[in-house]
Amino acid sequence: MVQTVAVVGAGVSGLAAIKCCLDEGLQPVCFEMSDDIGGLWHYKENIDKDRTTTMKVTVANISKEIMAYSDFPPLAVYPIFMHNTHLKDYLHRYADNFNLRKHIHLNTKVIQITETEDHKTSGQWCVKYQNIQDNKVTSEVFDAVMVCTGVFGKPVMPTFQGMETFQGEIIHTREYKTSKNFEGKTTLVVGLGNSAVDAAIDISEVAKQVYISSRNGSWIFGRLGPGGLPGDMLMLSRVGFYLLKKFPSLLNKLAMSQCSKKLNHKLFGLNPKFSPLQSNSTVNDMLGYKLLTGEIKMKPGVKQICGHCVEFVDGSKIDGIDSIVCGTGYLPDFPFLDSGVIDVDKSNMYLGMFPPDRKVHTLVVIGCFRQKGPIIPVTEMQSRLATMVFKVIVLSFRFVDQSNLSREPTSCLEVTFIFEKFLC
């Protein structure tokens, strides 16, 4: 019978998980390795090892009503696109409103999750966690586990020929918090995703010159939509998704013409190789202006590096590069889980949350997905489904003949089936 649930991480996914456990009458115990809740949105200027945060300047790329929890609207005084401090404030209010804090252990890092000896019949997990302040390690058994550690676990660094000869500083955007060390410098930003462009714009305010190197280009969307409305209100709607399903190529053309109205992608060297629907879009309103004023210049992919000189695949070279910032993305990381439980490389989880090979579904992953829309409402839906499935496992243990183990839910489909049969 599932009663106690270990929740790993207290970012937006972890908070939704705790709330939904309480709604279902389960007992959540949340472990958060940082000194505060909020995950990425708990910004700190000094770099925490192992932890990704936003930059000081990061503003949400989705408008506030679209990205909110369903049962907790953002304050009216927040701007339409919230600065990371507003989002953090919002998450704190959410935690206070639903009394979540007493279930959260801060400064506590989960270091290992393993099956208990009788896991096959009990579905239970042994969670080993460490108090970061006194290094004390404790093991505790839980009926279920919700892994809410996000998709920004492990930074991906590119490798370039001659990279070791570079005489300046090379960092990943994970280590980029403010433009403090970039005054007067010539900087190369590698990548054209949201983080890369955010960093490039921020650095360009103080640097001598900023270059962005991108292999595949990207379509640049804006927060500012036609008529001064939030752009995502137009795109992220039921009508929008219906049209997207029925007429994908038409929508692609519409998106391209919308993007091109503000910024001639070809002229400025953005050269997107993929269509807007294929690629991971970039949301930025300032890039066009910065390209127009020359504070930022576009470059193709990096070929090789030699000293302070960077050569690009088109044969052009730039000498005097002082620093390189790699906005080359992240991979999810579950160092505390046996790869037999979740194989990160396969990422074949049912609904992105249930590892398919498990016999009993008492371990779920929440928020481990990427999408073009808001993250928060989806983590809430996932948490609701997960906690309901946990309740079904209560039912299935009660209804199913314990001696006949083959009657246990063996696949997610079967869980869904039992769920519909007994709960709906």
Least distance to ligand NAG, CB of residue 216, Å: 4
Alpha-carbon distances of 172 from 39, 43, 58, 95, 154, rounded to whole Å: 19, 16, 16, 31, 11
CB-nearer residue toward ligand FAD: 71 or 319: 71
HSE-up (13 A, CA, CB side) for residue 242: 3
- Using CA atoms, how far apart are residues 144 and 116, in angstroms rounded to an integer? 11
Which CA distances in Å does 238 have to 258, 259, 291?
19, 21, 34
Q: Which does 32 bind (CB under 5 to 8 A by kind): ligand FAD, ligand NAG, none?
A: ligand FAD
* Residue 281 contact, options ligand NAG, ligand FAD, none, Cβ 5-8 Å cut-off depending on partner type: ligand NAG
Q: Least CB distance from residue 164 to ligand NAG, whole Å?
A: 22
Q: In this complex, which beta carbon is closest to ligand NAG, that of residue 122 or of residue 279?
A: 279
Site residues for ligand FAD per CB under 6 A: 8-14, 31-34, 39-41, 51, 54, 58, 60-62, 67, 109-110, 148-150, 152, 195, 336, 367, 374-376
Question: Residue 279 binds which entry of ligand FAD, ligand NAG, none, with Cβ cut-offs from 5 to 8 Å by kind?
Answer: ligand NAG
Instruction: Please say which residue, 283 or 386, places its beta carbon nearer to ligand NAG.
Output: 283
Closest separation in Å from C-beta 403 to ligand FAD: 37
H or E segment to which residue 221 belongs: strand 220-221
Kindly tell me the burial class for residue 345, based on how many C-beta atoms sit within 10 Å of its own C-beta (0-12, 13-18, 19 or more): exposed
Least gap, CB of 41 to ligand NAG (angstroms): 12
Q: Which residues bind ligand NAG (CB under 6 A)?
A: 61-62, 193-195, 215-216, 274, 278-281, 283, 301, 329, 370, 372
Q: Taking the complex as a whole, how short is the minimal distance between the CB of residue 140 and ligand FAD, in angstroms?
A: 14
Residue in the block written with tokens 């246990």: 408
- DSSP 8-state class, residue 410: -
- Choose between 64 and 185: whose C-beta lies nearer to ligand FAD: 64
As a whole number of angstroms, the distance between CA 221 and CA 412 comes to: 37
Q: Name 110's bridge partners.
A: 129
DSSP bridge pairs for 221: 283
Residue of 240, 232, 298, 238 whose CA lies nearest to 267: 298
Q: How is 306-328 classified by DSSP, letter by letter?
A: ETTEEEETTS-EE----EEEE--
Phi and psi of 108, rounded to 5°?
Answer: -130, 120
Nearer to ligand NAG, 106 or 163 (CB): 163
The span from the CA of 308 to the CA of 318, in Å, is 8
Q: Which of 397, 356, 337 is nearest to 3 (CA)?
A: 397
- Taking the complex as a whole, the smallest distance from the CB of residue 152 to ligand NAG amounts, in Å, to 8
Residue nearest to ligand NAG (CB): 194
Strands annotated E in 135-208: 137-142, 144-147, 154-155, 169-172, 186-190
Is the CB of 32 or the CB of 198 nearer to ligand NAG?
198
The option from ligand FAD, ligand NAG, none interacting with 278 (CB < 5 to 8 A, set by class) reads ligand NAG
CB 279 → ligand NAG: shortest distance, Å?
Answer: 4
Please identify, using beta-carbon distances, which residue of 131 and 280 lies nearer to ligand NAG.
280
Interatomic CA distance for residues 291 and 200, integer angstroms: 11
CB of 151 to ligand NAG, least distance (A): 8
Partner from ligand FAD, ligand NAG, none contacting 216, C-beta within 5 to 8 A by type: ligand NAG
**From ligand FAD, ligand NAG, none, interface partner of 12 (C-beta below 5 to 8 A by class):** ligand FAD
Partner from ligand NAG, ligand FAD, none contacting 58, C-beta within 5 to 8 A by type: ligand FAD
Report the residue number, 28 or 74, with the smaller CB distance to ligand NAG: 74
Collect all residues with Cβ–Cβ distance below 8 Å to 341 and sequence separation of at least 6.
113, 115, 355, 358, 363
Among residues 276 and 409, whose Cβ is nearest to ligand NAG? 276
The CB-of-223 to ligand NAG minimum distance in angstroms stands at 10
